[in-house]
Each structure stands twice: as C-alpha cells, then as structure tokens.
A = this chain, B = another copy of it.
Amino acid sequence: MKISIIGTTGYGGVELLRILHHHPVFKIQSIHSTKDEVPIWHEYPHLYQVLGKQLEKIDVEEISLNSDLVFLATPSGVSSKLAAQFLHHNIRVIDLSGDLRLKEPGEYEAWYKKTGADQSIVEEAVYGLSEWNEKQIEKARFIANPGCYATAVLLGLAPVAKEKLIVPDSIIIDGKSGTSGAGKSLSKASLFAEVNENFKIYKVNEHQHTPEIEQQLLEWDENIEPITFSTHLLPMTRGIMTTIYVKLRAQSSTEQLVDLYKEAYKGKPFVRVRPHGNYPAVKEVQGSNYCDIGLNVDERTGRLTIVSVIDNLMKGAAGQAVQNANILNRLNPATGLEMLPLYP
C-alpha cells in the first residue's frame, strides 16, 4: 500500500512521517511540498540518517500514478484545489485541512473567509470521525479528517448527544490548545517570547471549527442549538483540552454517565473513559492517539462537566488520519498507532 504525503514540511506532515515510518502495511512512496527539493532532514534534522527521502514538487498526475492513497497535510484553501485535481484520477484522498468538512453551502466561506471547494467534492467527502463514522469511512473516496478541537469536542459529547440527553441551548465549550496547532507559519503571535509564560484567548466565538462541531451534533440530535465555543493558547507545544459544560434533560449521577460513556466506547481502543473522580491531563495522551475523557456532574447545579484531551497532532490530525486510512483499507483501526504516550 503506497502512500504519498503532500504538505510534508508542516507539523501535521512530519507527524504522518513519524507514524508511517513504522506502519506495517503502508509504505511512504513519496513526500511533497512547495519548498525546495531537498532531503527531508534538511528541514527536520531529527530525521537525519533515518528517512532518506527527498521532498518532491507536487505533480498530481505522477503522484496518482505511483500511489494508492494520498494524505493532504496542506493548509485550508490549498487542499480544496488539490482535491479537485485528484478527483480526475482514481485515487483516494485523506484531507487534514478544513476544506472538505462543511456540507452547508456558504458555511465554509462564512467561517474560513475563503472560497470553498466545489460542492460536488464536499458532498462526496466523508467526515472522518473514526469512532463514529466507520461505516461511511470504509467506502469513502474523499475523507475530510476532523479538526483537532472538533475531535476532542465531538468524542466528548457523542454519548450524551446521541442519546439526546442534552438541553439543546446549553452547550459551552472552553477549548485550550498547544501551539503546534498553529503550525509553522511565521507570526509574531507564535514567537516563543510571546507564548511562553503567557496564556491568551483567541477567536472568541468565531473559531472555524464551530460549524463542523454543530454539523455533526445535529446529525446526532437535530434539536441542538448553536454552541458557545472559545479557544485559548497554552504555553506548550502539543495537546488539547476541551472543558465542556452542558445541562442534561434528566438528572443523572456521575456514575451513570461514566457507565453510559464506557458502554458507548466499548471496543474503541483510542477512547479511554476515566473512572469517577479521575480526570485526564494533556500529558497523559502526548505522542499517542488516545482521547481521554473525564466526567463530573455537579450536585449543586446539575450541570455536567466533560473533560476531553487529545494530542492535537495525533488524534487531532495525523493519528486520526492514519486511523481512517486503516479503516479505509479494512485494517484494524489501531494498526501502527499503538505507541504509548511519552511520559513525562
């Protein structure tokens, strides 16, 4: 099974390399970027003498001839153009950007402030939330890999959303992410001296993962109303925590909810529901494909607090992308993804 990666020099791309280098079935066929055609270790010296591959230009024709599957680790706005080109070749694509996720015409333009992909491609694309959309992913030609925040939020909300337990207008999501999510593009806001010993809120009520979260929630419960969702930048490199506050339609205890979640994620090795009184920390999933979830019902208010953590480059990007590639190829979803978190 030959794999090509486009957009290899970003953090999502290099994480794909880390996973695929050891994957027992997938083989890295070629790696591409718009940068100079140099060995990848020039860009990433940690791959010196390990990965000899040369970065190549993006030639859709040639890539299609030589590969069985393409990962697009390209930025929003670029992926849609490449996806359209791959449409004409019989090749499957997993896109890590937000370009193919939003079905509703106009939503992409409204939230991303860019021109969206052709509606035909968007319609064909399957939303790759691995644990919940496995059946569609198996048959997909285009997979829209979920956003990092969206993954943490949706895995955190799925069990109560699917059971229609949520008071529809009560969802509040307080998201926090490490800086690797912002990628390697140069901006003052990403400088070490600006991020270190600092903590900031950004995209207040306007994060582009909002419509993607709502779209999936509405598939589970058509009554869900607009969510409140803000995001913060953590002074760390990898990891996302979303703290989610919801009101439940009926009174439940923490124990009951832990049971519900454990049942919902039975047989899903990457979602670990913590027992009552135990909450996941971001470091406990770093470098791994796990999504860990903790739950607490406040007896004073009846409100449910859901804590969901992932490594934004793994379950939030490259890890889930490979998980989807596994599903697409009828492999065990965990193939090549069983690395433990790096702790400490």
Contacts and interface: CB of A to CB of B under 8 A. Distances in A.
Contacts of A296: 204-205
A340 B343 CA distance: 15
A222 B213 CA distance: 36
Interface residues of A, number: 84
Interface stretch (A72-80, A147-155, A156-164, A282-290): A282-290
B192 A195 contact: yes
B228 A198 contact: no
Q: What's the number of copies of this chain in the assembled complex?
A: 4
Contact of A46 (B21, B22, B204, B283): B283
B192 A196 contact: yes
A274 B45 contact: yes
A294 interface: yes
A38 to B, nearest CB: 13
Contacts of A282: 197-200
Nearest to A286: B197
Nearest to A283: B198
A269 B17 CA distance: 19
A344 B230 contact: no
The 10 closest A-B pairs by CB, nearest first: A200-B281, A198-B283, A46-B284, A192-B195, A205-B298, A174-B174, A186-B186, A193-B344, A46-B341, A226-B300
25 contacts: A11-B193, A11-B344, A17-B340, A21-B340, A45-B284, A46-B288, A47-B340, A48-B274, A50-B340, A176-B176, A179-B191, A179-B196, A186-B187, A192-B194, A196-B196, A198-B236, A199-B282, A200-B281, A201-B243, A201-B279, A201-B281, A205-B298, A227-B301, A228-B303, A235-B235
